[in-house]
Amino acid sequence: MSDLTSAAVPPLGPEDHRRGGGELLIVYADLGCPHCASAWAEIAAREATVVFRHFPVASKHPRSPALHAAAEAAGLQGRFFEMVDSLYADRSHIDDPHLWQRAERLGLDIERFEDDRRSQAVTTRVRRDFESGIRAGVAQTPAIFPRTGGV
Amino acid sequence: MIAAGEPAPDFTLRNQDGEKISLSDFRGQKVLLIFYPLDFSPVCSDQLSVYQEVKPEIEAKGVTMVGISVDSGFAHKAFQEKLGIDTPLLADFEPKGEVARAYGAYIEKTGHANRSLVLVDEQGTVEWVHESPTPLEIPGANLIFDALDTHGTG
């Protein structure tokens, strides 16, 4: 099993999902969480490099694992932040048929989207972010870590 | 707050299903007492939810988690269901806060427990204590793993 003892928030890395420019904000967020949705709207309005790290709290938001997997799968086709934006903009319509509709609207290959979102690789990728958040002491969402010096 | 090395005061409280649970029931295994102020307040909800996500890892280290607040068993039942958690919640209800007081975790002014973690070892001795500086600060799950690491478990 993984080591979940304390560790610093990992710095920006090549595998991170990042968007924008300016001050660096590392955000641990749950795609099923209303607080995160509000925060996302505010963050989007800022001039910042946003790094999104997965922090699904499944017991609290049972659909979150599926939403995070959907975002990762969309990311494998180059539409990660578009899917995140979509999920936070409309927090209802999150059943599988709705996810397919969202994926279609983003122009994704649906068969590939389906395979990817159910893959071990995607599960592992989401879990990796989650565990880094646990180690950094993340205990509520969103957890936002500003980093000086920009990118 | 009680300190590491002291004997953990035994107690018997009812859980969310009305069953009597005693600390001595856990003799032979480690138990993590999670004192928290109140069911349904925003900060408590995140704490127990996050711990639920890493409950398998905590249990793999031979530790059982138990939550304790002054709420009644009925509130605890509803709270568990609302959060989708299965950590047992004990009602330190009557006399109010008696167990929290025994551990030095009761805040007289507000009438509820503070936010603290007490790790009790297999022999019933306090092994580790963490008290949040303010009830608003949630102890991350990483602190639990740090404590288990230090004491050579897992």
In this prediction, residues B36-62 reach a mean pLDDT of: 91
Q: Tell me how crowded residue A95 is: count the other CB atoms within 10 A of its CB.
A: 11
Find the CB nearest A57 among B53, B56, B143: B53
How many domains are there within chain B?
1
Scanning every residue of chain A, which has its alpha carbon at the shortest distance from the alpha carbon of B59?
Answer: A1
Residue A29, pLDDT above cutoff 90: yes
Residue A1, pLDDT above cutoff 90: no
Output the pLDDT for position A73. 98
pLDDT tens-digit profile of A36-65? 999 999 998 889 999 999 999 999 999 999
Query: In A, which residues are within 8 Å of B146 by CB distance?
Result: 5-6
Output the pLDDT for position A144. 95
Residue A150, pLDDT above cutoff 90: no
Range of the domain at B107: 12-150
The three-point CA angle B64-B69-B71 to 5° equals 125
- Residue B86: inside a domain, yes or no? yes
Output the pLDDT for position B35. 97
pTM of the shown model: 0.92
B44 assigned to active site:
yes
CB contact under 8 A, B142 and A2: no
Find the CB nearest B53 among A2, A6, A59: A59
In this prediction, residues A1-28 reach a mean pLDDT of: 95
How many domains are there within chain A?
1
Q: Tell me the CATH number at B130.
A: 3.40.30.10
Question: CA B92: distance to chain centroid?
Answer: 11
- Residue A10: inside a domain, yes or no? no
Question: Could you say which of B2, B13, B32, B44 is catalytic?
Answer: B44
- Residue B31: inside a domain, yes or no? yes
CB contact under 8 A, A140 and B52: no
**B1 and B103 in contact (C-beta within 8 Å)?**
yes
- Residue A7: inside a domain, yes or no? no
- Residue B109: inside a domain, yes or no? yes
Residues of chain A above pLDDT 90, percent: 93
CB contact under 8 A, B57 and A137: no
- Residue B5: inside a domain, yes or no? no
Residues belonging to chain A with any Cβ–Cβ distance to chain B shorter than 8 Å: 1-7, 57-60, 62, 130, 134-141
Residue A135, pLDDT above cutoff 50: yes
**B33 and B66 in contact (C-beta within 8 Å)?**
yes
Quickly state the pLDDT bin for B43 (edges 50, 70, 90): low
Please tell me the distance in Å from A131's CA to the nearest CA on chain B. 9
Instruction: Report CA-CA distances (Å) from B102 to B10, B105, B108, B153.
Output: 9, 8, 13, 27
Range of the domain at A110: 18-147
- Residue B2: inside a domain, yes or no? no
Please tell me the distance in Å from B37's CA to the nearest CA on chain A. 16
Q: Tell me the CATH number at A99.
A: 3.40.30.10
CA-to-CA distance for B130 and A62, rounded, in angstroms? 30
Query: In A, which residues are within 8 Å of B141 by CB distance?
Result: 4, 134, 139
Average pLDDT, chain B: 94
Output the pLDDT for position A149. 55
In this prediction, residues A77-92 reach a mean pLDDT of: 97
